Structure 1
Amino acid sequence: MKTTLTLLAFVLALLGLAPGIPGASASGPELTAADVGFTGTGGLVLHGTVLAPRGAGPARPGVVLVTGSGAGVPRDHLRTEAVAFARRGLAVLIYDKRSAGYTRFRRSYSDLAGDVLGAVRALRARPGVDPAKVGVWGLSEGGWVAPLAASRDRGVAFVVVVGGNAMTPLRQQVWNEESALRRAGVRGSLLDRGKVGFARFGADAGLFAEAGFDAPGVLAKVRQPLLGIWGTRDLQSPPHENPPLFAAALRRGGNTHYTFRYFAGADHAAHETPDGGTTRGAALAPGYADLVAAWVRDVTSGRLPNGDLPAPPPEDHPARATPPSAWWESARAQAAAVALFLTAFAGYPLAALVRRIRRRTVAPVSRWARLVPVAGTAAVAGGFVYLVSLAAGSSPDPGPLLAGRPLVWLALQGLAVAAVAAALAVAVAWVRAGTGVPRGERVRLGLLLAATAVFVPWGAYWGLLVP
């Protein structure tokens, strides 16, 4: 009977049907694995796995791993890191990230930080874990969330961030998207104005969740020792700007217990990369896991670092400032301008159609007036669609280039210039016609030219009327 039960347990473990049995999902015979459940923000029950070295011994340090962006990211996304840290003597909790309340346009770092603290409590309660030596590790978005959790619980023993940011998510995202376009060879106003303007518009319109998250303000409240790690080929977070920003924010709060390290050739997650950061390899950067384990053992034993900030790697290009929008560039002002364009540009041909139906045709002041609404509408609508397409994917495709300018963008710029030039021709013709222009036609032309007058600064702001 005992043999039968043992065989049954072995088969269930192979099939993955015994998650509660320590070791059922461990990676290697030297580790144990046990599934746990815990309560996050709002009473949401989350599930995870604790990996730890097999065998008895002194209570060991523990670490909760906090993943990057995305809803419902499964725990196995960080299994490589978890196994590497556990093999070096740490108890590691990985868990399935929440999907409730988390979308592309809506998320709360506060809620995520509450989930992290729930995981910390669960790991503290595990046998063999020293509850006074449990800390947090955060990757990418987790680099905002993990320090926030630590700032709320002084009992968190330490903080590790990988590919973290001490700047707003909006500024980081602009740098990320701009980097991708630069690698594709793009230069000019699409980068300098179009992408930045579209990101700020999205933030103003509430389409960019946590865009203005105050990362420096949170870091100034972190009192625990902090280890920051960046790959020199990080293409998502600027590895040359963030470490000094981290140091400045921590020091402002009186915290000098930090260590920053760079791994040559490693990507955003400190993994090896075969192509300079675009593709993530399966293996961690050599020495990365050893550094984390040794640093955690040191700080949890009372050996605290003192402001260790080596020189950052060379800078490819700086992150652009993304200050709050002025009233004239806010989402409301942009929406009002577009509404004016659509009304004026669509109203001109519609009025002509109504006249034709009523057989009350009026000779146009200038045939160039027909080009203004067509070119203007195409430039406005096409520009918006193109910018949306570039922001929709992780690897934006700008299309064929000419002298660093995407052909699509050049075509949109050509339409914008054509609309303005045609409007100038209409204005000259109107002046020459003088009082001979019928009253109804004057109203129609006046609205068309007024919209074009607004279109000029609008087009310059978005980069459609500058090189």
Structure 2
Amino acid sequence: MRTILAVLTALLLALAPTAALAVGPARDAPMALPDDLKASEVSFRGSGGLQLHGSVISPVRARSGRAGVVLVHGAGTGTKRDKLLAEAVAFARQGMSVLVYDKRSEGYSLFHRSYSQLADDALGAVGTLRRQAGVDPSKVGIWGLSEGGWVAPLAASRSADISFVIVVGANALHPLRQQTWAVAAGLRKAGVRGSFVDRAEPTLYRVIADGGMFPESYYEPEPVIASVRQPVLGLWGVHDLLTPPRETPPIFARALERGGNRHYTFRFFADADHAAHRTPDGGVTRLPELAPGYADLVGDWVGQATSGRAPVAQVTGPAPVQADDSVAVPPVAWWESAGVHAAALVLFLVAFAGYPVVALVRRVRRRAGVPPVKAARWVSAGGLVTVLGGFSYLFYAIMTGGKLAAPGPLVAGRPLVWVALQAIAVVTLVAAAMTALRLRRVAGRGERTRLGILLAGAAVFLPWALYWGLLQP
């Protein structure tokens, strides 16, 4: 089952990069830094003994007894440390030592992902930073962006060595629910409405998750957040298109308070995106600069948190922009599972592609055949185009990502490609009905069998098209 879906995914733009095998990220050359900062290269053991490499960035004139923070990446395989260089530089200029490391590739792929494993990687980095000269080991915390917003609280819940937690663009929802919302938010921002965004997009993610290609899809973050005892600083851009910025903070606060932790500070930044970087167009474009006041807030708050003066239940900043609520994405029932869809795909290929293949074989062998039913040709061609074109366009839409969605030309809020596929689906079903009416008048057992297989594919095609929203506005 997994093999079939993996092959389909590769053919339709490849959903995600595969992991490197059995090695950690390679050691990079030292990062180029401003003159007022310095870097030292470090290596440490992560989960399973995997060797990871990173850089500790500190002020050139660093004071002894300073605080430190470990930066945890967002989603992606083997993400390099320079992806977070802007944050590392900004926080080091607040007087801290900042450890940023290359994310693992081993064990992180299309089919496998473990937030527990990533949390253990982060704990290895925390232990390394606590041993750095001039760093006060009692003042080392952890910072997590996006996916790191699931990882950082998990690491903090496991170790009293972490003195504070900072999350940026973090999510308190199931990862699958967050992802379907993010892609839908990007599509809606591009003007898309109707069944493509309301039905087809979340359906595809549910099937992908059932096929094992969305690991940690139903990870439950609330109990972990409730077990965090360290002070928490939560930061969100007002124009976050990847995490529901209005829904997540109240869930975070509720979980923390349920665990008896009221030492949290939440801040929303105007004109900022998912990573709290500046955005000029409502979150579509990310600029290199951090949101004004972001770094200063981190520096001041870390100073308070590490001296026992963390603010209590403080929420500030403008209200976030979130046009639509996220919706629950339940696991599939048996009849809508990845296995059933794979079987349906095989049937479609046999039924729709088999019809012209048999005709071609007959022609090559110069065998006289029964005059073809013209409507059957429409069933064959329309079914193939709808199935293969529908999956191709859906995979393209999710591959472009949430805020980068590019659905193409729209007609009344519907992607032109999707409208065309819907029209072809209708033509296919009408042609199937016409073919069924002609079936009894067709001479020859072989031809009736051929048409029977074609119509069997069309019979399954009807509920399939309804399920995917191809027969809905």
TM-score if structure 2 supplies the norm length?
Answer: 0.86
Report the counterpart of residue 272 of structure 1 in structure 2: 278
Q: Does 1:133 align with 2:142?
A: no
| Secondary structure of the corresponding residue to residue 50 of structure 1 | strand
Percent sequence identity is 57
Report the counterpart of residue 422 of structure 1 in structure 2: 431
Pick aligned residue for 2:97 from 88, 91, 94: 91
Q: Does 1:263 align with 2:272?
A: no
Q: Cα deviation per residue 1:70-116 (whole Å; 9 max; x = unaligned)?
A: 23322222222222222223222122222333335543322221111
Report the counterpart of residue 315 of structure 1 in structure 2: 322
Larger Rg: 1
Measure, in 2, the Cα distance between the counterparts of 1:289 and 1:350.
Answer: 64
Q: Does 1:371 align with 2:392?
A: no
- Confirm or deny: 8 A CA contact 2:195 2:472 kept in the other structure: yes
Report the counterpart of residue 195 of structure 2 in structure 1: 189
- Which stretches in structure 2 are left out of the alignment for 5+ residues? 1-27
Q: Does 1:219 align with 2:228?
A: no
CA distance 1:441–1:33, change in 2 (3 Å):
closer
Q: Cα deviation per residue 1:272-328 (whole Å; 9 max; x = unaligned)?
A: 122322222222111111211222222222224333346852421222321111111
CA shift for structure 1 position 452:
1.7
Pick aligned residue for 1:388 from 387, 395, 408: 395
Greater alpha carbon shift after TM alignment, 292-301 vs 92-101: 92-101
Pick aligned residue for 2:369 from 345, 350, 361: 361
CA distance 1:359–1:57, change in 2 (3 Å):
closer
CA shift for structure 1 position 430:
4.0
CA shift for structure 1 position 440:
4.1
CA distance 1:67–1:359, change in 2 (3 Å):
closer
CA distance 1:197–1:295, change in 2 (3 Å):
same
Report the counterpart of residue 339 of structure 1 in structure 2: 346
CA shift for structure 1 position 121:
0.3
Q: Cα deviation per residue 1:54-77 (whole Å; 9 max; x = unaligned)?
A: 447551221111122223322222
- Which stretches in structure 1 are left out of the alignment for 5+ residues? 1-16
Measure, in 1, the Cα distance between the counterparts of 2:449 and 2:259.
Answer: 62
| 2:370 counterpart letter in structure 1 | V
Q: Does 1:60 align with 2:66?
A: yes
Q: Does 1:233 align with 2:271?
A: no
| Secondary structure of the corresponding residue to residue 216 of structure 2 | coil
CA shift for structure 1 position 36:
2.1
Report the counterpart of residue 11 of structure 1 in structure 2: none
Q: Cα deviation per residue 1:223-278 (whole Å; 9 max; x = unaligned)?
A: 22211100001122221111122223333434333221100111111111223222
Report the counterpart of residue 14 of structure 2 in structure 1: none
CA distance 1:18–1:185, change in 2 (3 Å):
closer
Pick aligned residue for 1:404 from 396, 399, 413: 413
CA distance 1:430–1:122, change in 2 (3 Å):
same
| 1:236 counterpart letter in structure 2 | L
Q: Does 1:327 align with 2:360?
A: no
Measure, in 2, the Cα distance between the counterparts of 1:198 and 1:387.
Answer: 8
**Structure 1 moving runs of 4+ over 6 Å:** none
- Confirm or deny: 8 A CA contact 1:37 1:47 kept in the other structure: yes
Measure, in 2, the Cα distance between the counterparts of 1:258 and 1:336.
Answer: 50
Report the counterpart of residue 171 of structure 1 in structure 2: 177
Measure, in 2, the Cα distance between the counterparts of 1:361 and 1:86.
Answer: 79
Measure, in 1, the Cα distance between the counterparts of 2:57 and 2:454.
Answer: 68
Measure, in 1, the Cα distance between the counterparts of 2:439 and 2:29.
Answer: 83
| 1:226 counterpart letter in structure 2 | V
| Secondary structure of the corresponding residue to residue 64 of structure 1 | strand
Aligned length: 442
- Confirm or deny: 8 A CA contact 2:239 2:320 kept in the other structure: no
Pick aligned residue for 1:297 from 303, 306, 311: 303
| 2:95 counterpart letter in structure 1 | G
What's the C-alpha RMSD, in Å, of the aligned pairs? 2.5
CA shift for structure 1 position 123:
0.8
